[in-house]
Structures are given as C-alpha cells and as structure tokens.
C-alpha cells in the first residue's frame, strides 16, 4: 500500500513537532505502508522570507523569489529525513526537482505539467521513506519554480496522482473540513464527507485548509483526499466525487468561507467605448492578475465607472497595468480593507431564496454589501473587512450550520 502524506507548516512548526511527524511517519511505515511524505516550510518561514525580500525591494524578481521561497521546504524535508534516519528508518529527502516535478515557467505561481516518477520509484523500491520538499518544481529551463501559497497541498495531490497512491492524507492543525473556519466560529461542525465540487468552491473562496488548485487536480485525477490533524488520531474528512443518488442533496448550504486577501480597484471616468473593458482586462490577464468580481455602472456622458476585486498581493502589479491607461481612466483608487464572505452549497442549485436569506442576515446586522456575485452553488459578498468575522458567524447561524 502506497500512501502520500502531507504535513503543513504548523505540523512542522518547530523541532519537537518535526519529531512528532517523524514518529507518526515511522508508525505508518511499521504498519507496512510505503510512504511519500510531502512537507511544508516551518510555519511563518515563507512569510519571513517574503519580508526579507521586501526589505530590499518592493517588487523583487519572481525568479529570485522562487529561489528564496523554495528553501523553506527544503529545510524541513532534510530535518525530517535526519530524524527518521536517527530512529533507524531508511529515509531520503528530495527537492521538487529531484522528485521529478516539472512545471510551466510562471514563477511564483507555476502549474505542474508532469511528474517523472523514476527517481521516486527507485527510492521507494530501495525501501526508503521518501520525503519531498513541497511547493516547488523545476521548469523546462532548469529554473526552480514555486506553486503559489499553500502549494504543498498541490505537490501532495500531484504525487499521489502520478504514483497512483492508495491514499492522499493532508495533515494540518485542524482535524478535518468544518462548516466554516473553526477559529472564527467555534460552533462550526466537522464534516464527515465533502464533494470535490463544494470543497473547490470553499477553498477558492478563502478556506485555506486546502489549496484550491490541489482540490481541482484531485478531482481531475480522481485522487481521494483525507484531511486530518497531525496532533490527534481523529478521523478526518474525506473529499470525494459525489455520485447521483448520494443522499446529500438535503444539505442546502455546506459551508461559509472568508477571504481577507482581497483588494478592490475602482476606476472612475473610464472612456465608454467598445473594447475598453477588453483592453483593460486583457492587460491584467497578461500579468496573471486574477480578477474576480466586476461591476460596471451605466455610462454617463460617454464615461463609466468600473469596479473589480483582485487578490491583495497582486495590487502592485494591477496598479502598474492601470497606470498605462491614464488617457482612458480619470481616477483610480484602491482599497485593501475589504473582505469576501461566501456561502457554498450544491443544494442551492434546486432551491430559491438562499441569496435573500444571506442579504437579510447582513442587513439585520448593519453590514453593508459592496459587491455581490453568485453561481449555481455559491453566493459571495464583498464587505468592509472589519465586519468579516461577524459576517461569518451571522451566515453560519442563519443557515443553521451549527445544528
């Protein structure tokens, strides 16, 4: 039996915790499992490295950022291998490149294109516990790349898919997927199962417990994920493909997600001519800026206003793009103090009134909704960041997720 386990930053946050992970890995090995273990950098380490870079530059080169950030995971991988060897186990730590993880060329947000498993097969065949530094790969030019924040989840899923592992276990500091972040709403309930579809929405909308790309890939490759805690032996949550006839359709709403990493861009006095939106958003897309909600007002005197949201960490890139449109945009302003709160549930497909319930709940609590977007299975609202936690609790309650 081959199992891919992934331990996140908190789980390897200090040396005692790395020892704890080593003990857990050793136990699984002694039970007869073959193991590939993906590790994150120690908690706080990636943020610290980003701060270091920003000491020197507001806009550091993305190639060098990848050189820098990939080092965090490498430290943990080597330390875990050393701890396991000391316990008498055969273990070897590999970087993303050594593990055969090939990505595209987009530095700091690379996509995995292929995994050459020959080295992994060889090391597993030799009886090793293979520790892989998460969050990284190598591109066709031999350059180190990283996979976006939370990317070790993606490394784990991709390895599990490529190796056709029997299980992919993602260990963090929570013992599964809850109806909302249990740190914000202690009444949140742990889910026994959640579909890929709902999990993908929750993680795309800010529930960082699993990186959204990892869920997307798991769905595509049919990798069954179990989300568990490295601090307990509790059963986790299984993320799986829901089939027709599964009796989950009674669940109207399965969770509430919060994303504080949002910024709003407001463009006023935009020349209202055919093609202007295409030009602005194509330029943003060329810079890999992820535009989310978009609002355009009715035009007045040949001018219109355009508002949209992007991830906060892409704000500097967006400002640079917008500056190039000064002949077409009168003023632009940027607000980082916004958050996106979302309600997710496949049951919404077949029920009406779900959105009205959310808007009423916000109104009752005097929370102004600045932007709205909906899909078949989610409702998202942009609000003032200071109301974030309140909004999560209010929505959690109004859909009776604590029941």
Q: Taking a C-beta distance cutoff of 8 angstroms, is the pair 212, 200 a contact?
A: yes
Q: Which among ligand ASP, Mg ion, ligand ADP, none contacts residue 181 (Cβ within 5 to 8 A by kind)? A: ligand ADP
| Helix spans in 62-168 (H) | 62-86, 118-125, 152-162
Q: Is 211 helix (H, G, I), strand (E, B) or coil?
A: coil
Pick the binder of ligand ADP from 209, 344, 392, 395 (CB under 6 A). 209
Cα distance between residue 54 and residue 130, in whole Å: 34
In whole angstroms, how close is the CB of 37 to ligand ASP at the nearest point? 14
Output DSSP code: residue 176. S
With respect to ligand ASP, which residue has the nearer C-beta, 72 or 307? 72
8 binds ligand ADP (CB under 6 A): yes
Residue 25 binds: one of ligand ADP, ligand ASP, Mg ion, none (C-beta under 5 to 8 A by kind): none
Which of ligand ASP, ligand ADP, Mg ion, none has residue 309 at its interface (CB below 5 to 8 Å by kind)? none
Residue of this chain nearest to Mg ion (CB atom): 150
Looking at the Cβ atoms of 9 and 137, the one nearer to ligand ADP is: 9
User: Helix, strand or coil for residue 151?
Assistant: coil
**8 Å CB contact between 343 and 358:** yes
Least distance to ligand ADP from the beta carbon of 22, Å?
A: 17
Alpha-helical segments (H) within 261-398: 276-286, 315-323, 354-364, 388-398
Residue numbers at the binding site for ligand ASP (CB under 6 A): 8-9, 40-41, 46, 72, 134-135, 149-153
> Measured from the CB atom, is 155 or 380 closer to Mg ion?
155
- Residue nearest to ligand ADP according to CB distances in the complex: 8
CB of 45 to ligand ASP, least distance (A): 7
Q: Provide the minimum distance between the beta carbon of 46 and ligand ADP in the complex, in angstroms, as a whole number.
A: 10
Closest CA to 38 of 121, 89, 117, 94: 94
Measured over all CA atoms, what is the biggest interatomic distance in the chain, rounded to whole angstroms?
77
Residue 2, classed as helix, strand or coil, is strand
Residue spans of beta strands (DSSP E) within 173-302: 193-195, 225-229, 237-240, 255-271, 294-296
Q: In the stretch 336-375, what mask flags binding to ligand ADP with x, by CB under 6 A? A: ----------------------------------------
- Contacting Mg ion within 123-162 (CB under 5 A): 150
Minimum distance from CB of 262 to ligand ASP (Å)?
18
DSSP state of 241: P
Residue found under tokens 């602005």: 280
177: partner contacted, choices ligand ASP, ligand ADP, Mg ion, none (Cβ within 5-8 A by kind):
ligand ADP
Q: Give the residue ranges of DSSP H helices in 40-88.
A: 45-56, 62-86
Q: Is 199 exposed, middle or buried (0-12, 13-18, 19+ CB in 10 A)?
A: buried
Nearest alpha-carbon partner for 262 in 216, 204, 306, 200: 204
Stretch that binds ligand ADP, among 64-72, 73-81, 201-209, 379-387 (CB under 6 A): 201-209
The residue (of 208 and 393) whose beta carbon lies closer to ligand ASP is: 208
Region 140-199 residues binding ligand ADP, contact defined as CB under 6 A: 150, 172-174, 177-178, 180-183
Kind plus residue range of the DSSP H or E element containing 336 = strand 329-344
Considering only residues 5, 10, 139, 388, which one is a binding residue for ligand ADP as defined by CB under 6 A? 10
Which residues here bind ligand ADP, judged by CB under 6 A?
8-11, 40, 150, 172-174, 177-178, 180-183, 202, 207-209, 255
């Amino acid at each position: 039996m081959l199992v891919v386990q992934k331990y996140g930053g908190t789980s390897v946050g200090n040396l005692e915790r790395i020892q704890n992970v080593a003990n857990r890995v050793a136990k699984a090995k002694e039970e007869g499992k073959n193991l590939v273990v993906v590790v994150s950098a120690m908690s706080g380490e990636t943020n610290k490295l980003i701060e270091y870079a920003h000491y020197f530059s507001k806009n550091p080169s993305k190639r060098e950022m990848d050189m820098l950030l990939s080092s965090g995971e490498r430290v943990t991988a080597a330390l875990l291998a050393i701890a396991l060897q000391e316990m008498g186990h055969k273990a070897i730590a590999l970087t993303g490149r050594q593990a055969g993880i090939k990505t595209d060329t987009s530095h700091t947000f690379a996509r995995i294109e292929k995994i050459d498993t020959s080295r992994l097969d060889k090391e597993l065949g030799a009886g090793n516990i293979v520790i892989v530094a998460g969050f990284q790969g190598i591109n066709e030019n031999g350059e180190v790349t990283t996979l976006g924040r939370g990317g070790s989840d993606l490394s784990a899923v991709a390895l599990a898919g490529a190796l056709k592992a029997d299980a992919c276990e993602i260990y963090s500091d929570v013992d599964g997927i809850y109806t909302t972040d249990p740190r914000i709403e202690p009444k949140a309930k742990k889910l026994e199962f959640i579909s890929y579809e709902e999990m993908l929405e929750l993680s795309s909308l800010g529930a960082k417990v699993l990186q959204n790309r990892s869920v997307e890939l798991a769905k595509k490759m049919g990798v069954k994920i179990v989300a568990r805690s490295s601090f307990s032996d509790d059963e986790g949550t299984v993320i799986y493909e829901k089939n027709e006839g599964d009796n989950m359709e009674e669940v109207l709403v399965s969770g509430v997600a919060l994303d504080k990493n949002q910024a709003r861009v407001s463009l006023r006095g935009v020349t209202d001519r055919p093609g202007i939106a295409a030009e602005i958003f194509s330029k943003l897309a060329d810079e890999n800026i992820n535009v989310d909600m978009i609002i355009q007002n009715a035009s007045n005197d040949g001018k219109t206003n355009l508002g949209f949201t992007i991830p906060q960490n892409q704000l500097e890139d967006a400002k640079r793009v917008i500056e190039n449109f000064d002949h077409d945009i009168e003023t632009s302003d940027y607000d980082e103090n916004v958050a996106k709160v979302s309600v997710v549930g496949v049951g919404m497909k077949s029920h009406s009134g779900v959105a009205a319930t959310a808007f009423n709940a916000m109104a009752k609590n005097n929370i102004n909704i600045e932007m709205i977007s909906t899909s078949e299975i989610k409702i998202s609202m942009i609000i003032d960041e200071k109301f974030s936690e309140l909004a999560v609790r209010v929505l959690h309650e109004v859909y009776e997720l604590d029941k």
